[in-house]
Amino acid sequence: MKNAGNKAEINWQRRGLSPLPLQMGLIQAEYMRLQQMGLADEKDLHNMLQGIKLYQEHPYQRGEMEEHTVWQQGSVRLLAASGHKNAASSVPLILIPSLINKADVLHITEEKSFMNWLQCHGVNCYLLDWGETVDDVKLQTMDGLITERLLPAIDYLVGEYGGRVDALGYCMGGTLLAAAAQIAEGKIRKAVFLASPWDFEAGDQKLRKEVRAGMAPALQRVMYGQTLPKDWIQSVFAAVNAQRALKKFSNFAAMDQDSDEASLFVAVEDWLNDGVDLPADLARTCIIDWYDKNQPGKAQWCVDGQVIQPQNLKCECFVVASENDVIVPLESSLSLAQLIDHAAVLKTRKGHIGMITGRQAESEVWQPVLNWLQS
C-alpha cells in the first residue's frame, strides 16, 4: 500500500495478516470509504500502517503452554489444564473450539487463558484440539468428526470421571456441540454455547453474504475433492472486519510495545491469521448446508441419521450471545436459546473474540459461565 507522506514500511515476514495483499487492499478500500464520509484522514491511515509495522516486527512469540495430552485419536487431542483432577469439581468440562482456527484462543497466553482460569476456579478443564483436519480420515466429513472424534473424546471423560460431563462450545464449536449433545443423550450434564451460530438467516447477514459471494471459487475446489484453503476462509473474514482492522492497528500503534497488553494483541493476531485448511466434504457442509441453505435453522441438518433439533436436548443449556459480534449475530445465537426450553441466556457487549481475550472478559463472560456451571 502506498500513500503520500506515509513512510511506514511493512515487514512481510510475519505470518500475520493472511492473505496479506488482500487484507491490505480491503483495509485501504475501507479507509477510502471512511475518508469520503469525513470519518478518516491521513493521520488515521498513518497510525494504522504504523500499527501493522509494529505488529510485524514485534518480538513476542507464543511459548509452549503448560498442558498435556490425555487422549488422542487421529489428529484430535484432548489437552488437560495444569492441575487437572485437582480441582474441586467432580464434573469435567470439555472446551470445544471452532474448526477454522486453532484451539489456542481458549488458552492464548498463560496470563489470558480461559482454560486455566476455569481450572483455577475449581473446574476440571479439558481442551479439544482438532489438529490438522485434512490429515485425519475421520475428520473428512461432519458425521465422522462428531461420531468418531468428538463423541469418543466425551466418552473418555465419562469413563475417567464415572458420570456425565459438562461441555462448552465456542463459535462453530457450539453448533457441533448441539449435535453431539443430542446424539450422546445422557452423557452431557450442562452445555454452554458461546457465540454459537444456529439460524444463519437471522440478524445481520454480512458474513453470510461474504461466504455466498465467494462460493463459486470455493465450491469449484471442493467439488473435485480438494481442500478449502485457509486463505479463502481468511479472505471472507477479512472482508467482514475491514473497518475493525483499521481501528485495531491504530490502537495497537498507541500501546506501550513492552506491555502485556501489546503481547496479548500480537498473540491474538497471530492466532487469527494462523488458520487451517478444511477437507472438501467438511467445507461443503459449512458453506452449502449451513451458510447457504441454513439447514440448522430450518431443522434440516442431519448428523448420523438424526435431524439435529435443539429442542430435543435433555441437558441444561446456557447461551451466551454478543450484541457486538460481526461474525455471529446476536439473533443467530439467540435462535438456539429460543428452541431450548428453560435455556439460560447472557447477552454481552463483548465482541466475538473479546469475550475470550478482552479486558473485561473475566467479569462479563467467564464469571457468569463459571457461576452457571457451579450452580
Quote the pLDDT of residue 312.
Answer: 95
C-alpha cell at 12: 512481510
Quote the pLDDT of residue 88.
Answer: 61
What CATH fold (topology level) applies to the domain 67-202+278-374? Rossmann fold (3.40.50)
What residues contact 4, with CB distance under 8 A and at least 6 apart?
Answer: none
| Nearest residue to 171 via CA among 240, 103, 248, 265 | 103
Dihedral (CA of 201, 203, 209, 210) sign:
negative
Query: What single letter denotes the amino acid at residue 159?
Result: G
Quote the pLDDT of residue 342.
Answer: 92
* Domain spans, the chain: 1-57+241-274, 67-202+278-374
Walk along the chain (375 residues) and give the pLDDT tens digit of each residue.
333 334 344 444 455 666 566 666 666 676 676 667 666 677 777 788 888 889 989 999 887 766 789 999 999 999 998 766 666 668 999 999 999 999 999 999 988 999 999 999 999 999 999 999 999 999 999 999 999 999 999 999 999 999 999 999 999 999 999 999 999 989 999 999 999 999 999 998 888 888 888 888 888 888 777 899 888 888 887 777 767 777 888 899 999 999 999 999 999 999 988 889 999 999 999 999 999 999 999 999 999 999 999 999 999 999 999 999 989 999 999 999 999 999 999 999 999 999 999 999 999 999 999 999 999
Residue 324 to residue 264: CA distance in whole angstroms: 21
DSSP string, 233-274: HHHHHHHHSHHHHHHHHHHHHTS-TTSHHHHHHHHHHHHHH-
Pair type for strands 188-194 and 165-170: parallel
Quote the pLDDT of residue 78.
Answer: 97
CA 113 to chain centre: 14
Residue 193 to residue 175: CA distance in whole angstroms: 8
